[in-house]
Structure 1
Amino acid sequence: MTRTPERRLFTTKAYRRIAVAALAAAGLLTFTACTSTSTSAPPAAAAATSVSPSPSASVRKLTPAVSDQLDKAVTRTMRQAGVPGVIVGLWVPGKGNYVRAFGVADKSNDTAMSDGLRMRIGSETKTFTVTGVLRLVDAGKVGLDDPVSKYVDDVPNGDRITLRQLAEMRSGLFSYSEDADFDKAFLSDPDRRFTPQELLDYSFKHSPNFQPGEKFEYSNTNLILLGLVVEKASGQSLADYLEQQVLDPSHLDHTLFPTGTEFPDPHAHGYTNQTLNGRVADATDWDPSWAWAAGAMISDLSDLREWARIVATGTLLEPATQAQRLRTLPTGYPGTGYGLGIFDNHGWLGHNGSIPGYQTVAVYLPAAKATLVVLSNTDIPYQGNETSTLFAKAITTIVTPDNVYNLPPAPPASASPSP
């Protein structure tokens, strides 16, 4: 199948660009080392950026008139991009809230979208997996500067790639989701189950793209390895560990790491053109095992509202560990840096996600203590843009003009990530 650069799936290079947007929210605090094995900053620290937001942000009050502006902006974006349905939530202390559901959740019967529906959240999963790793750091069970070879065998350069570099997307490992054989296997049978080792096999048949720590490059392989590290260090399955150590303490009752194809009701149907014939398909029940620790999770608006704040403020972590998480490194994307499974996009901290049928943005703006969540039920791009980015940009342009969430439709030629 011939692909254009705009087509996204975890298997496409353009999808990796999406995840880059999620990268951008990581750079508020100065780095402070805290691992179970080291108390000194890694050599890369000198190249890190610490982008502190302004102490105050220009935020418009969410009056009826502003809410009407938002309604029109979201509706216009939906119409232009052909998005079936979208849920938007914006919460700004002292300024008001804006929560809306637009369009349809199921095109087969025109069921209206509602703000209580679950959706697949793609790379937002990375924030949960990395938080799991960081909880193990705080428990003294792993060190961020441990080599991945301590936990997983036969990783190329595994004796020199650290857990920190995996979480920062600076390992150099080829992303399994870029492999043509994987692409064919997945699209030929979206109901197929993949094991983590099978995913790694697609990656490891390729030589690393660069030496560990040399530069930034988004790779889903990094998260598969971190998921296996969690299992090795905790003695639990990734799903069980995240439930007990991340979801339960955060009181996220509508979020889960599926172990099969389960998708609890109520949920929205998701639509994609990531198919062998390029036709739009209902991807709701496609098996998410191919994304595993990189993108398999399910959540809803209310849980992601809480989670965006928890990730950005470090509720579950020791302060020094959170400081390391928010230490960002350059990505090659203007206004965007990437830390440990989190990005800083023009002051908004968090991540985005895309998986066939669904897209997500869940971010927090510390300067205003504001939270923005966007959930849509398609991953089909519009003029090369992620539609989740278009919604987030439209909303923040109106409400937080000094902090406009934005991700370019294509990476610049000089950027580290491949297009």
Structure 2
Amino acid sequence: MTKKRTKRIVQITLILATIVSLSFVPWLLVKAWILPLPDTVQEQLEEAVDHGFEGMLVYIDQAGEPPQLLAAGWHDREAMIPARPDALFKIASISKLYDAVAVTKLVQEGRLSLDKTLAQYLPELVGRIENAEHISLRLLLQHRSGIPNFTDTPDFWAAPTQSYQESLALILDQPANFKPDEAYEYCNTNYLLLNKIMDDALGYDNFQYTKEEILEPLQLHHTFGSLAEVDLEEVMSGYHVGHPYDLKEDDHGMLATAEDVGIFVRALNDGSLLDPKEQELYTTVYKYEHAGWVPGYQSFATYHKDLDAVMVAFYNTTDPDLYYWNLSEIINKRILKILKQQL
């Protein structure tokens, strides 16, 4: 076989492999990626709604520019209420940033220690959670504990647990996924336990501490610990593909406006939230941006150093296969491209 013929066969094989791989990619994702970039972020939000999102909110705080608050689609589809940029939204795992800051402050105050173990803080879990004697507070913060993730329990989201005890029961007496500090695996159980440890150390609900030490200094008056604290009409509706009802009334922890989350993320990244010793400590334990997902709600809070910009993006549509998650990541990248083009 000649070199020319061999090269031709390789080229054809690569083309066929590309076609086969693309056959497994929803074409709407490809379309969303290759469409001409809109001139404005608002146009990109409206394009996102055209792709299937019921509604979308975005907050952008770029250095040297006034903050932008944008919305498209529906706040409540059934009531035909247009999306509101000041709506409350379920921020899901973005709340871990607030938890990590609270733990950092409590460690700096001497009320917690990063080196103490789960066995020392919650001795009742010895023998019920594998390696409890070797899992430190630091490893819980960093998702390096090896503890199974309670939200990975089969069909968890069909009937989510409602309490610490119910959630913990899902993983008790289960084998560890790995030995402490031998790997990284994102795990909601880690932060379930951290919240319990903070409650015990404080003697009261740790969200009150978060309010006093984080929210009030930043004047974040539109961030709440649960649905019980808010007017339900202020909460953006949430929709999950295959589920016929609005998921607004399901309680999944913290809620906030996009603006409140953006102000928090800016303060976390520019050093104005933590004092120098706290900032140094925080840098060793957790990250400076986050995303979140619960049925009906997916959220992104990011900081982009090259633009000196904070971007918070809320999408009120989810699906079992995370198709809409992948689509939202494409849209987020397109918004950043628009911002760069506007420089």
TM over 0.5: same fold?
Answer: yes
Who is 1:353 aligned against?
292
Alignment partner of 1:364: what SS? strand
Residue pair 1:261, 1:286 contacting (<8 A) in 2 also: no
Q: In structure 2, what residue type is equivalent to 1:317?
A: L
Residue pair 1:130, 1:226 contacting (<8 A) in 2 also: no
Provide the rounded CA distance (Å) in 2 between the counterparts of 1:97 and 1:114: 16
Residue 326 of structure 1 pairs with residue 283 of structure 2: yes
CA drift at 1:90:
1.5
Provide the rounded CA distance (Å) in 2 between the counterparts of 1:388 and 1:252: 26
User: TM-score, structure 1 length as denominator?
Assistant: 0.66
Who is 2:9 aligned against?
none
Residue 98 of structure 1 pairs with residue 68 of structure 2: yes
User: Which one has the bigger helix percentage?
Assistant: 2
Q: In structure 2, what residue type is equivalent to 1:116?
A: D
Q: In structure 2, what residue type is equivalent to 1:306?
A: I
Residue 76 of structure 1 pairs with residue 17 of structure 2: no
Provide the rounded CA distance (Å) in 2 between the counterparts of 1:145 and 1:400: 43
Residue pair 1:379, 1:386 contacting (<8 A) in 2 also: no
Q: Pick the aligned partner of 1:305 from 259, 262, 281.
A: 262
Alignment partner of 1:86: what SS? strand
Residue pair 1:135, 1:316 contacting (<8 A) in 2 also: no
Alignment partner of 1:203: what SS? coil
Who is 2:191 aligned against?
223
Alignment partner of 1:132: what SS? helix
Q: In structure 1, what residue type is equivalent to 2:114?
A: L
Who is 1:128 aligned against?
98
Alignment partner of 1:281: what SS? coil
Any idea what the Cα deviations from partners look like across 1:190-245, whole Å, max 9, x if unmatched? 6xx62212211112232110011111100000000110111111111123222222
Residue pair 2:45, 2:71 contacting (<8 A) in 1 also: no
Asked which structure has the greater CA Rg, the reply is 2
TM superposition outliers: structure 1 runs of 4+ over 6 Å: none
Who is 1:393 aligned against?
333
Residue pair 1:239, 1:259 contacting (<8 A) in 2 also: no
Q: Pick the aligned partner of 1:212 from 174, 180, 200.
A: 180
Alignment partner of 2:266: what SS? helix
Count of aligned pairs between the two proteins: 300
Q: In structure 1, what residue type is equivalent to 2:226?
A: P
Within-5 A mapping of 1:188-337: 188=159, 194-258=162-226, 260=228, 262-273=230-241, 278-288=242-252, 296-327=253-284
Q: Provide closer, same or farther for how the CA distance between residues 253 and 262 of structure 1 changes in structure 2, counting only shifts above 3 A.
A: closer
Any idea what the Cα deviations from partners look like across 1:44-98, whole Å, max 9, x if unmatched? xxxxxxxxxxxxxxxxxxxxxx983323333223222x10111112221225543
CA drift at 1:258:
1.5
Any idea what the Cα deviations from partners look like across 1:95-131, whole Å, max 9, x if unmatched? 5543311111111021101111111111011111111
User: TM-score, structure 2 length as denominator?
Assistant: 0.80
Provide the rounded CA distance (Å) in 2 between the counterparts of 1:250 and 1:264: 24
Of the two structures, which has the highest relative contact order with CA contacts closer than 8 Å and spacing of 6 or more? 1
Q: In structure 2, what residue type is equivalent to 1:281?
A: Y
Provide the rounded CA distance (Å) in 2 between the counterparts of 1:231 and 1:378: 33
Give 5+ residue unaligned stretches, structure 2.
1-36
Residue pair 2:297, 2:317 contacting (<8 A) in 1 also: yes
Give 5+ residue unaligned stretches, structure 1.
1-65, 289-295, 328-338, 343-348, 402-419
CA drift at 1:260:
4.4
Residue 167 of structure 1 pairs with residue 141 of structure 2: yes
Q: In structure 1, what residue type is equivalent to 2:56?
A: V
Residue pair 1:138, 1:317 contacting (<8 A) in 2 also: no
Q: Provide closer, same or farther for how the CA distance between residues 284 and 259 of structure 1 changes in structure 2, counting only shifts above 3 A.
A: closer
CA RMSD of aligned residues (A): 2.4
Q: Pick the aligned partner of 1:364 from 303, 306, 311.
A: 303
Who is 1:187 aligned against?
158
Residue pair 1:91, 1:371 contacting (<8 A) in 2 also: yes
Provide the rounded CA distance (Å) in 2 between the counterparts of 1:313 and 1:194: 36
Provide the rounded CA distance (Å) in 2 between the counterparts of 1:70 and 1:127: 26
Q: Provide closer, same or farther for how the CA distance between residues 178 and 131 of structure 1 changes in structure 2, counting only shifts above 3 A.
A: same
Q: Pick the aligned partner of 2:117 from 140, 147, 152.
A: 147
CA drift at 1:259:
7.0
Per mean C-alpha deviation after superposition, the further-off stretch among 299-308 and 197-206 is: 197-206
Q: In structure 2, what residue type is equivalent to 1:398?
A: I
